[in-house]
Structures are given as C-alpha cells and as structure tokens.
Amino acid sequence: MQHIFIEGNEKNAPILLLLHGTGGNERDLFPLADMIDPNASILGVRGNVTENEMPRFFRRLREGVFDEADLKFRTEELYQFIQEMASQYEFDRNKVVAIGYSNGANIAGSLMYHYNDALAGAILFHAMVPLRNIQLPDLNGTPVFIAAGENDPLIPSDETKELAFALRNANAVVSEFWTKGGHQLTREEIVEAQKWYGTNIK
Ligand code: MLT
C-alpha cells in the first residue's frame, strides 16, 4: 500500500497508524499525529481503492452502505500490510495505535471487529459500524477513543452508540466524546483525543 513511515524520536513510543477519510492521502493526518504524540513513529497509509479518483480504504455501494466483501478483503490486506511494515521498518507490531477519520476510522473499527491483535489502541473520529452480524474477537482491554458529532448528517448518534456498545461488549475500554458538531473534525475533539492518549496509551 502507498505509505510513509517516519521513525519517532522515542524508540519505545507507539507507532501511529494514520488512516485518512474519503479523498485523503497518507499525509492528511500528520498534523494530528504531531499534536497527539510528537515523539511517536508514524505510518501514514493511503487507501487502496478509489471512488471517482478519491482514495478510500474499501468500496461502498453508496453513502453509508458498504461493500462488505471488499471491506473484509481490505481489512485483511491492511492487517497483513501492518505485519510486513513491522518487519521492514523494525517496529514493534504490538504497539500500533490507529488514528482514523471517517472512512479511515471505519477500517480501523473493522480491524478490531476481525482481529484481537491488530491494534494496541485506536482513536476513531466519526466512525460508523463497519459491519453487523459478526462475532467480535476478545479485545481484552484495548483502549478506544470515539469522537462523534451529535449533528453528524452521515452518522446517526445511535450508530456511534452501537459501535461503542459492540466494542465494549468485546472487552475494549471505550471512551466517548461528543460535540454538537457535524462530520467535520474539530479542534476540541483533537485536544480531547490528545488528553485521552496521554492517560490511556502512554
Ligand atoms: C466517508 O465519506 O468516508 C463515509 O462517511 C464513511 C465511509 O464511507 O466509510
């Protein structure tokens, strides 16, 4: 997958896996990563599918309706990619923390819906339920931060709550942060994510 890896100053710091929203790229979330943990290593990845030339991490049939077969395929592809990158760049596979926005948060959610060891933690900005009717693995205390907008036109509040419920039910430790905003990423969410990271990851 197209990507950029930047080794952090601190050898033992986490590796931030940056997953952009629709139409983004592997560099989009660099400023966020810098705010959240300036010492961490960064693995910025570009989604492998395109929709009208806009990169995404998996196909959708229409807004909010995912191509589940592709989502499963792309989730496994990303999982394998992380393993490969860990040997290529010699980082600790067990210290990968995802930061995803929208489509990127959805594939991060899907990684946790499929694998118990994909992520050491996740910050999900404006995430949806990636898929339903599957048994989640035991996430065994994985810390997850979910930020959502009460007025997000793409994601009803109940869907965010369903996602949080499913992850908690799989033993993830989920923190929710709600704003009055919509689908846009806001500064207050990033500041809150930074605080959460300081107590839950570092
Ligand atoms: C997006 O535009 O990225 C959607 O809201 C989320 C998705 O399709 O995964």
pLDDT tens for residues 35-91? 999 999 999 999 999 999 999 999 999 998 999 999 999 999 999 999 999 999 999
Measured CA to CA, the distance from residue 143 to residue 120 in angstroms comes to 7
Q: Is 103 in the pocket of ligand 1 (CB under 6 A)?
A: yes
CB contact at 8 A, 66 and 51: no
Q: Is 21 in the pocket of ligand 1 (CB under 6 A)?
A: yes
The answer to whether the Cα torsion of 30, 188, 120, 202 is positive or negative is positive
**Average pLDDT of the chain, as a whole number:** 97
pLDDT of res. 85: 98
28 is catalytic: no
The answer to whether the Cα torsion of 117, 136, 98, 35 is positive or negative is negative
User: From the CA of 64, how far away is ligand 1's center (Å)?
Assistant: 6
Write the pLDDT tens digit of every residue in 106-135: 999 999 999 999 999 999 999 999 999 999
pLDDT of res. 21: 98
- Residue-by-residue DSSP string for 93-130: GGGEEEEEETHHHHHHHHHHHH-SSS-SEEEEES----
CATH architecture of 3-200: 3-Layer(aba) Sandwich (3.40)
Which tokens is 163 given? Answer: 């996602």
Q: Is 60 in the pocket of ligand 1 (CB under 6 A)?
A: yes
pLDDT at 202 over 90: no
Write the pLDDT tens digit of every residue in 2-23: 999 999 999 889 999 999 999 9
> Looking at residues 180-186, what average pLDDT do you find?
96
102 is catalytic: yes
Take atom 1 of ligand 1 and give the residue whose Cα is closest.
103
Tell me the pTM.
Answer: 0.97
Take atom 7 of ligand 1 and give the residue whose Cα is closest.
103
The answer to whether the Cα torsion of 39, 27, 187, 196 is positive or negative is negative
Which DSSP letter does residue 87 get?
H
